[in-house]
Structure 1
């Protein structure tokens, strides 16, 4: 595709088909991603690629933890504290908090995006169960056959986060150009320990987030949703 078409075609896919992604295709996408610029070419990131049975098993473990912590949140305070202390479900990610209230206009944009997504899914504002189920799908990667987890080395401080973001954008655009879809997921940074069962994570590297990868499920309305982007007037800081 033309580059501008790739940019405008990319969106967060939340329903994937069961069509597998060949390892050669994954590697080609990653080879594109590592062409990304980084601060002084330090490339302070690594990725863990879960596919096949690893992807399915990891998804089920993350989903189980989500349901456990969701249940704990509904308990009376004394039981909540006890359960939190004794449960293995509590988040053990490297960056906290992953989710929370956003300040000012950013919360407004977040809420508008969430409303648009739930409207597309036909979920009413007061339907907590349906909202919980929609959130739960994050942890099985929206049925994607591949999940990619992004790690950075914190010795590079904020530049590592900038560089990993650039690398992820290159990865997502490369996938789009090949007819695949992606969904970057901050929620996949909530738990690190399950990943350590499947991957030999190098010492010092910290988990940032994850990303679902696969072929979009055709005719699923959720994949048609695209939130409103900034206008140029909102983006550009005016001269004095």
Structure 2
């Protein structure tokens, strides 16, 4: 595809088909991503790529943790405190807190994006059960056959996160160009222990997030694309 077409066609896919991604195609996408620039070519990142039974097992384990955590949140405070101490469902993310309070303008955009998505899905704002079920789909990667977990070395401080973001963008654009879809998922950074169970993560590397990859299903949710800011909002005016 034309490069501009690739940029405009890429979007967060939230419904994947059961069509597998062959290893050769996956390798091509990963090799494309390796062309990404990084600070002084340090390349301070690692990827854990889950496919097949490993992908399914990870999805089952993460989903179980989500359901346990969700159940704890609904308990009275005394029980919640006890469960928090005894449960294995507490977040064990490397970056704490993963997400603080959104400043007002960004909270407005976040809410607008969420409302637009739920509208496409036919989920009413007050339908807590349906919203929980949709959130749970994050942890089975929206049925994608490939789940990728992104790790960075903290020794490179903020540049590691910058470089990791560039790597992810390259990966997502390459996948789009080959007819596949992706969904970058911050939620996949909440629990690290299941990934450690299946992969030998190098010492010191920290989990940032995950990414679902596969062939998009013919589903209306995959047509959803939230509004971007315009140039006037992007550019800083001169004094």
Q: CA–CA distance in 1 between the matches of 2:5 and 2:101?
A: 34
1:78 Cα deviation after fit: 0.5
Q: CA–CA distance in 1 between the matches of 2:118 and 2:100?
A: 19
Q: Does 1:32 align with 2:50?
A: no
Q: CA–CA distance in 2 between the matches of 1:47 and 1:74?
A: 34
* Alignment-derived partner of residue 58 in structure 1: 58
1:15-56 Cα distance to aligned partner (Å, 9 max, x none): 000000001111110000010000000000000000000000
* Alignment-derived partner of residue 79 in structure 1: 79
Question: Does the Cα contact within 8 Å between 1:47 and 1:150 map onto a contact in 2?
Answer: yes
1:144-199 Cα distance to aligned partner (Å, 9 max, x none): 00000000000000000000000000000000000000000000000111011100
Q: CA–CA distance in 1 between the matches of 2:85 and 2:99?
A: 20
The runs of 5 or more residues in structure 2 that have no matched partner are none
**1:125 match: secondary structure:** coil
Q: CA–CA distance in 2 between the matches of 1:23 and 1:97?
A: 35
1:187-231 Cα distance to aligned partner (Å, 9 max, x none): 00001110111000000000000000000001x110010000010
Q: Does 1:178 align with 2:169?
A: no
* Alignment-derived partner of residue 107 in structure 1: 107
Q: CA–CA distance in 1 between the matches of 2:152 and 2:170?
A: 16
Q: CA–CA distance in 2 between the matches of 1:225 and 1:98?
A: 26
1:98 Cα deviation after fit: 2.5
**1:43 match: secondary structure:** coil
Q: Does 1:229 align with 2:220?
A: no
The runs of 5 or more residues in structure 1 that have no matched partner are none
Q: CA–CA distance in 2 between the matches of 1:102 and 1:119?
A: 22
4+ residue segments displaced more than 6 Å: none
* Alignment-derived partner of residue 141 in structure 2: 141
Q: Calculate the aligned-residue CA RMSD, in Å.
A: 0.6
